[in-house]
Structure 1
Amino acid sequence: MKVLHIDIPDGVITYEAIRLSETGGVLEAAEKIIGLLTAFELQFEKRPRLSAREVKQGLTLFKADKLCELTKLLFFKPASNKSLLRDQWEANTSNTGRGFVVSPTFRSEPVSMPVMHTGPVTRSWSKLTVGKDLPTITPGTRKTLGAISNHQYVDETSLWKARKGFGMFSANKYDELECIKWFHETASEKKTFGGGAVVYTSGNHVQYGFLTGNLDVYADFKGDKPPEIQCDRLVIECKGTTGDMVGHFFTKTQQTKDGFPYAEVKPKHLYVFQVQTYMYILNAVAKMAKSALMKKAAMVLRHYNPSGQPQQDFWLSLVDSDMQTQRDIDKLRLFLQTHVLACYIAVLRQLFVKE
């Protein structure tokens, strides 16, 4: 993996995964992937991660015992430029001096593979480095309350002029900021969710093993815990729609909860699994720090209307941390780091041999 410059998370490679790479079921799945690589239908993913939005798909494959499909989802992607991949194969078979070479089987049979590199780092392949597999969160970018309060909402009717019949809400580069503004103003007005004693950050990167994601908004409450969530921090996920998600993902209840217009979300939707993954990783971080666990996350759901009426059509949904889902995500994380990684190692073993 060092020779191929594959960016594997720290601490996930273990002797258990290497041992499993030589077992029957894993080798059988690896053979299927080799077949797709020789047909140039797949190419290697340089930074294999399972995004929070892909967790529902990953859980479905895990529960159906689809090892091959789960390995493809994490470590590979559909092949794009097949001629370029063939050129890479030819470069790999003609060059030496990297500690590894293409196996005899695939020196004459073209196979999709990334460029092999050499250098002091890649030459240290002979020793396995076993690190610590720890959940992490980056600080993110702070959003000042002054900037939030002073921001003016974009005229939503202008976002419908670019294309007839479907809004260009994605063109509103301030969408996330306006979701925070609405949440903060409503919370302050109703004296809920911490009111004004809160720090908002965005772009916090979370990772645990192969699971990863970027938080839209991370609220850190200063002072007393808001009684609505009983926690120091809150994930706020922002979703915008021109209406296609109404009914499909959430239903406007026409009721209020804690002073917010409240919406019910479908608990089995992939966006809910995305938020559950965020809570799973953040609670793993909290356990290390021996701090309070996150019991709820919030979704700010924005409905863009072609007439611009009502303006600022925002809704709130609270997602409870579901213990069974959290356990399922934990099982998936461990499976990715054992059997799925083992399948990937088995593929590499067939493609490359020590020089």
Structure 2
Amino acid sequence: MAASAEAARMAAVRRYDILDTPPDGAYDRVAALAARLFEVPVATVTIVDEDRIWFKATHGLEGVTEIGRDPGLCASAVLTNDTTVIPDTLLDPVACSNPLVAGPMGVRFYAAAPIITADGYRLGTVNVLDTRPREISEADSATLADLAAVVRDQLELRLSALHVLRAEQERRKVEEDKRQAEEEARKRAERDKAAIAAFASTLQRTLVPPALPAVPGLELACHYKTASPQEVGGDFYDVFPVDGGRWAFFLGDVCGKGAEAASVTSLTRYTLRAAALVDADPTAALKALNAALLLDAAVGTRFCTAIFGLLDPARDGGFTVTLATGGHPPAYHLSP
């Protein structure tokens, strides 16, 4: 039972987080006030730790921050709810061996009031010490208890401030973590967007010729821009040589956008190129494309429109243009 009670008391000490904190004027004033009220050379405010008596405040006891708990005056005083008074320490079997009594200081009188929390735990004591034996009245004992209550109230105020501070720190940490998460998500989205755009751009470049070939006697030009840099368009075009000095060209559009449309676009482009090398007739090329699309299960319900043209050089230096269309809007013939 004693061990469990001490463990609970130490948990209360830890809860107030007061051990080894720097000097505080409020506790120093309590020690100074106790010394003045009781007309003693030494007064202290102590917290009783597991194996030591730690001095939160001292008056008349310079250079001492802690002493061992056993044998200890404060260690005994913290065991009771009442004010402990030892008129003559040399006559007390426990106090007589204390370093403050047996040592150079020669304490002969000791009185202590426990610092008791609202839930009944005794954290330490407010003490007055003298180098001569003496007696104090019940009113003096009550005054010492009031000083211990002042220390208790100060500890409660400090604990309340700590809770507010920690809650604010936790709130700020949550906000900072949220801000960092949002910032990381934004950066990740930007990286993903850039990667998608780079992928789409690279894929798009594989679906159209990097440059139009130089055709003798003919000036060629093209311009193509996708609606979105993040999506691969389904449009395609090409110009390439076939047999007999002739040139073939095509342009078209696969329904939809993205990777699935790109796969059909790639199939369409290379099918038309291969078909033209076998039979450059525009109608035959489009029939070969249609057959290839119908046979490829990956195409699914996707379709494309296309125009296929054949450029046949004429003797007068012009070209004969033969066109076949597969559902595509008609080509325009513009005058100079």
What's the TM-score, normalizing by structure 2?
0.20
Structure 1 or 2: more helix by fraction? 2
Larger radius of gyration: 2
